[in-house]
Each structure stands twice: as C-alpha cells, then as structure tokens.
Chains A and B, each alone.
Chain A
Amino acid sequence: MSALLENFRSLSLSNELSKEQLALATQWETVVKSGQIQGHIEELNLRLRDHSFILGTVTPTETDAIVFESVFTVIKDLLASSKDVKGHYAQYRHIIRWCAYLQEILEVSEDNKLSLNYDLELPR
C-alpha cells in the first residue's frame, strides 16, 4: 500500500456509497490501474467541476486518494513546464483545486507540494 493511501486511511473518513458511486469508483480505479490517467484528464476535470470530490461525497474517499496519486505528477509537470501557466490554470482549475485540497489532508511533504497562486485571475 502506498504511503498516500495509508495517510488517507488514517484519516478515518467514511462515506456511505450508493451503487452509482461504487460504479464510478471502480471506473476511476480501473483507469488508474491501466495507466491511462493522462487520457482521462479532461473527463476528471469535468467531473470535479460539479463535484468537490470524485464520487460527489461530502468528504474525500479512497478513490480520491488513489486517483490523486497518479494525477498529481501530471498536473505538477503541466504547471512547471508550461509557458502558458495561466492557460493551464484556467483549463484544469478544477483538478488543481482538488489537488490543492488533497495534498494538504494527505500530508504531501512541503518540497513535493504544488505551490499555487490562489488569487490568480482566471477567465470564467
């Protein structure tokens, strides 16, 4: 088990999941396992546009922790390498917000964290 997932379990957050949520969980975990997360970034961003957490729960679930683990580096690379930082902020704002939340509760070490400009003006 990864350190991040271990950190998540130590939080003892619990959410009762509906069948639909369980199906979504399986779907996203399959994407992670198959290593295809990069191809699902847009879909994830859309999901997180309307939901604070992937399964639409009130607090994060294990699915958030699992997906976070594989998406985090992708987002970090995107923001570190790009010339058009603001454009990427705007495009992936929902994933970025979700990453910013999860890196805090999962206690990502300071030097690994995304450092964000929270007040960057983004177009609507």
Chain B
Amino acid sequence: MTKLVIASKAPVVAYSELIAARLVNAADPSSVEIEFTEDKKSPAAAFEDNSESVLKRIVDRYPNAFGQSSENTSEWTKFAAEELTVKNFAKLSVSLEKLDAYLNLRTFISGAQSYSPSDIACWGSLRSNGMVGSIIKNKVYINVSRWYTLLEQVPEFGTAHEFLTKSVQELKKLASSGKKKETHKANFEIDLPD
C-alpha cells in the first residue's frame, strides 16, 4: 500500500491528486492510503513522502486505473497547475477560453472515450479554485461547463470535497477523544508570565 497525504488547508487543495488516488482505490480497493493533515506547513500533496509531481507519480504507479493518455499529459498538467488555479479573473478568463475552445469538438480533453489524467488535472484545479464555481454555473464557457458537470457525475470527482471534509472531521474527532486528558494537562504547563 502506498500513502498520499493531502493538506486540507493548503491555499490550493490538491483535488486532482485526491481524485486520482480515489480512482485507483475504486479500481483496486485500498491501494492508496489517503491521509489528511491540517498542518499549514505541509505541502499540498505528498505521495510516498515526496511532494514533486504527485499526480504524475500516482498515474505512473497505477497505470491500469487511468484511461489511455495519447495526448500531452504533462502539458495539460502544467496548464492546470499554473493557469487554472489562478485567482485573478482577467488571467483566468484567458485560460478558460483556451480550454473552452479545445473542448469545442471534444467530449474529454484527451479526445479519447473516457477521462484521462489531463482531465483529472484540469478538473481538480478548477475544483480547488473558489472563483470557478459561479463561472461554471452561469455557463460563461459553455463547453467547459458541460465537460465539468459530466465529470462531476463520476463519484470520485463529484464527492471528492465531501470525502475531504468528512475525513478531516473524523480526524478532529479522533484527536479530541483520544487526547483530551493530555491536552488538558498540557494547558497547565504553558509558561505564563507572572
């Protein structure tokens, strides 16, 4: 079993990586252990204790869980990470326009019969971007909205956020029930000025 750690309080929550891991687990249960941390100093995502190109390493490790990726995955992953997470409206518009044009005649970014790592990367980045919700809803970029809502119907995509919130809640519950006495004790040990 491999381990993925997601920082739930990262400025850009690693939804793509989370979705990828959930897809791996859907194809082959408990392949990836998914953990969450609320530590703000943690990298957004770490797979096997390494925070470099996490999505790519998950995909490479479990190729069977992902559709064929005939297209340029690394280019789209870069586009997703650098351009779709931007919270500047003017800049984001240009990127969304590009994605919209690309999806004019394609059901998926890969142009294949199902979603590919490129779709996962772009969808996850958009999910993490608070500015995107209303843009999708208002169908400003009609092709992007259609593609986004299609993938939202796939449980591993659509319920990723719910999965995260629930897991973090459980984490908190566990921490407060198991360590109550110790936290209490620790409170007395704080050095207070006289």
Contact = CB atoms under 8 A, between A and B. Distances in A.
Interface in B97-156: 97, 100-101, 104-107, 111, 113, 139, 142, 145-147, 149-150, 153-154
A51 B139 CA distance: 12
B105 A118 contact: yes
Interface string A41-57: 00000000111100001
Contacts of A50: 139, 142, 145-146, 149
Nearest to A99: B105
A91 B154 CA distance: 29
A30 to B, nearest CB: 25
Contact of A104 (B97, B101, B113): B113
A105 B97 CA distance: 28
Contacts of A83: none
Nearest to B142: A49
Interface of B: 97, 100-101, 104-107, 111, 113, 139, 142, 145-147, 149-150, 153-154
A10 to B, nearest CB: 15
Contacts of A101: 107, 113
A124 interface: yes
Contacts of B104: 93, 97, 120, 122
Contact of B146 (A51, A118, A121): A51
Nearest to A59: B114
A122 B113 CA distance: 23
A124 B104 CA distance: 9
B159 to A, nearest CB: 13
